[in-house]
Structure formats: structure tokens, C-alpha cells
Amino acid sequence: MLDFLWNLGSFIVALGILITVHEYGHFWVARRCGIKVERFSIGFGKAIWRKVGKDGTEYVVAMIPLGGYVKMLDERVEEVPEELLDQAFNRKTVWQRIAVVAAGPMANFLFAIVALYLMYIIGVPSLKPVIDTTKANTPAAQISIKEPMQILSVSGQKVRNWEEVNLALVSHIGGDSLEISLTPLNAAVTDAQIGQSHTLDISQWTFDPDKESPISAIGLGIYRPAIEPIIALITKGSAAEYAGMQVGDEITTINGKPYRDWNAFVDVIQKSADKTVQLKILRDNQALTLNVTPQAQTNAAGQMIGMVGVSPTQIDWPESMRFQLEYGIVDSFTAAADKTWQLVVVSFKMIGKLFTGDVSVKNLSGPISIAQGAGTSADYGFVYFLGFIALISVNLGIINLMPLPVLDGGHLLYYFIEVITGKPVPEKVQDIGFRFGAAMLLLLMSVALFNDFSRL
């Protein structure tokens, strides 16, 4: 329940900020163009707060925080007094109307730059993208790894942490190949360093985002610090607790075989659902034998696996792999603008690949996934929350630019047709377009919500 309330609160804060930014973009440009704004509303439905400003605009916060709007004086909506005709939206030039409509998405892109700027000023705790294995039967299988290797770039795009690697890989979905540049972890890395280049065939590469990451799907084995077979955590009510295991126990043998590594231990446990597994442990330098029966549970793939409810002791990440991703006052702006541009490009590519079939509609996410993401990022800390709302802000701007008549992009499409033809699109055509756009938007939202519920 607490997780739900935290996610809901984070969602409302994040969405409230982004909607306010978007609508303020419309509002600010409309005022600069001499258009009278009658209402500035954050949310839909019944107003929970309202105030009329000195400028005559009614400012409203409404019950349903899933959108907002700026109501401008317009002869197409209501009768306008003759003395106010020059302040009506429909009386403005087509280029002024284009500016007002485009200002909402542009405000979202500018806000993303501001959020990322603050993130880079504060600094993001990061890990170098280091691999120590590759998986068989994957695009990366051709890379032979003999020592930990740091990823320097993906198809010429410099990457400094795993988030940037993930973003670079996602942008190549549906492509034929990509190039990965690697260098030994302990080698001195300079901006001019090229590293060992490997070209991967990704023409048959696909992945399910609900089951694995692009990094895992392409076959890159992320380097992780060694795991010691010493129990660090025991889940209350778990099979391990019932068997008498305690924090600090060191596993030495499993079913009579010496402990090899944690993955092998997990493999035995998962294959032994409701079957007794004999463990020998060291506790205070004394050898003990325990019989534990893994509890049967169904995993994400629908398979029955065993679980005992323990976590091992993991050695800290080496200092050589940890760093603070941060910039100075000027460089932070450049980095923020560059990251925003990358997000815009990748987002447009993903939308295109949804239509070509290279990316499944299963990748669409709705408000539930956004709420979970907002809660998780806020839980990690303010700097991660900034990165999250920057990503959502970019996506909100791009979605609004889609050429569906109910969205800003649809209005822009009509206005650019007016620029070309020299006359407005007929009202009847606009009405048909709005109905079609509403139906398409409802369909997309339904798919996104279905995906959200299927992930719960």
C-alpha cells in the first residue's frame, strides 16, 4: 500500500510538472501574440482550486491530473465582442497560430534540457560499462573476452555508463549491424582512443523488454563484483528461514558437491522446487548440515521454479569502475542539450519502428508504468527523478507532435496545409480528422493500458 501511495504521489508530481510546462508554453506564446487567454487549466473535470488573475485569465487546478488545456478567445467556439476581435486566436496569422501550437512540445524539450542540466550539475553516480563475458547464440558471441573490457562507443557514439549503452543499443533495433569499440578495463582511456572494434550482425536480433534488457539480449555479459557464498539476507517466512539458516552462514557444499559459484547454486535451487536440497554450511567455524526445501513459484516466463529466499554477500564495486558523471556550469548545458537531442532522435526512431513492425506494440507504456517509473526514480533520489522526468518530458513533446488532429501535431498539419494552399482546411474535413484522431488516440491508450496491466 505504501508503494502504491509513493508511486501515485510521484506520478502526480511528475505529470503535474510536465503538464504545467507544456501548457505554459502555449500560454506564454499566445500572450506574446496578443491572444486573450480565458482559462489556464492543469487537469480535467471539477476544479479543486481556481483564481482569476489581474490579466483576466482564470487559473484552475482540476481533479483529473491526466492533461490540461489553455482556452483562448476564438470565434469558432463562441461569439466574440467586436472590441476583442483582434485578440481572438482565429484572427491571428497562420504563422502566429503555428507558433502558439508548437510552443507546448517545444516547452517540453526545453524543460528536458533544464532537468538534465541540473542533473549533470549535481552529478550522477555511475558505473563504467564493463563486460567480462558474451553469450552463445547472440550477436555478441563473436567477441572473445579474456579479461574485463570497457565499452568505449557504440557505432561511433561515445558511451560512459550503462544507461548510454542501453540507449545506443535501442536506437539500432531493426538495423542490420552495429559496431562496438572495446578496451581493457585497466587501460588508460582518452577521448582519442578507438579501442578494439567489433561489427555485430543484428539483422535477426529481437528482444522482449518485459523479460530482458537490450544489453542482455544482444549477448553482453555485464561485469559484476565477486559474490561470496555468505548469506547476507534471509526473507521472512522463506524456505531458508524454516530450514534454520542464519545471516552469516557460509555455504560449502550443495547436495554433496562443493560450492562453485552463486549462479550454479541458484540453478540447483530453481530446479528443485518442492524437493529437499542438502546444504553444508560453516557457522562460527562449525560445520553444519541443513535440509532446505525450495518453495515452488511461477516466474515471469510461466515456469515453475524453486525459491529459498536468501541473498549472498556481494563485494563492493572497484573504485576504478565507479565515477560521478558531472560537468561544469557551461559544459552541463552542452551535455544536457546533446542528451535531449539523443532522446528525441531515439524516440522518433522507435515510433517509426512501431509502424514498420521492427518494434512490438508491447513496448508501449501507459500511466501505470509511468507511475511505477516515477516512484522508483524518486526512491533512488532527486538526481534520478530529474533524469526520469526529462525522458517523459521528451516523450510527451514527441507524442503531441504526432499528426493526429486531436493533438498539437494535427493542428500543425492543418496550419501547414493552410500555408501551402493559402486557405484554411474546411471545417468538415477538420471535424472528420478530429474524430479519426480521437479514435486512434483511444486505441493507442488502450494498448498502452493493456500492456501496463499485463506487466503487473
Catalytic residues: 23
| DSSP calls for 355-398 | HHTSS-GGG---HHHHHHHHHHHHHH-HHHHHHHHHHHHHHHHH
Q: Are 233 and 310 in contact (CB under 8 A)?
A: yes
Residue found under cell 480521437: 438
Composition of the chain by helix, strand, coil, percent to 5: 45, 25, 30
| DSSP calls for 95-132 | HHHHHHHHHHHHHHHHHHHHHHHHHHHH-EEEE--EEE
Q: d(Cα 132, Cα 151) in Å, to the nearest integer?
A: 11
Long-range contacts, stretch 266-271, CB < 8 angstroms, 24+ apart = 269/294, 269/306, 269/307, 269/308, 270/294, 270/305, 270/306, 270/307, 271/305, 271/306
* Residues paired with residue 127 on neighbouring β-strands, in sequence order: 322
Which residues, in sequence order, are CB contacts of 325 under 8 Å at separation 6+?
120, 123, 124, 125, 126, 160, 161
Rounded to a whole number of angstroms, the CA Rg of the chain reads: 27
| DSSP calls for 222-234 | E----EEEEEEEE
Q: d(Cα 211, Cα 301) in Å, to the nearest integer?
A: 8
The SS3 call for residue 423 is: coil
Q: d(Cα 358, Cα 172) in Å, to the nearest integer?
A: 10
CB atoms within 10 A of CB 158: 12
Q: d(Cα 140, Cα 365) in Å, to the nearest integer?
A: 28
Set of cell numbers at residue 203: 539483422
Q: What angle is formed at CA 39 by the lines to CA 440 and CA 424, rounded to 5 degrees? A: 55
**What is the DSSP-derived secondary structure letter of residue 422?**
S
Q: d(Cα 430, Cα 413) in Å, to the nearest integer?
A: 11
Set of cell numbers at residue 440: 486512434
Q: How far is CA 371 from the centre of its chain?
A: 11
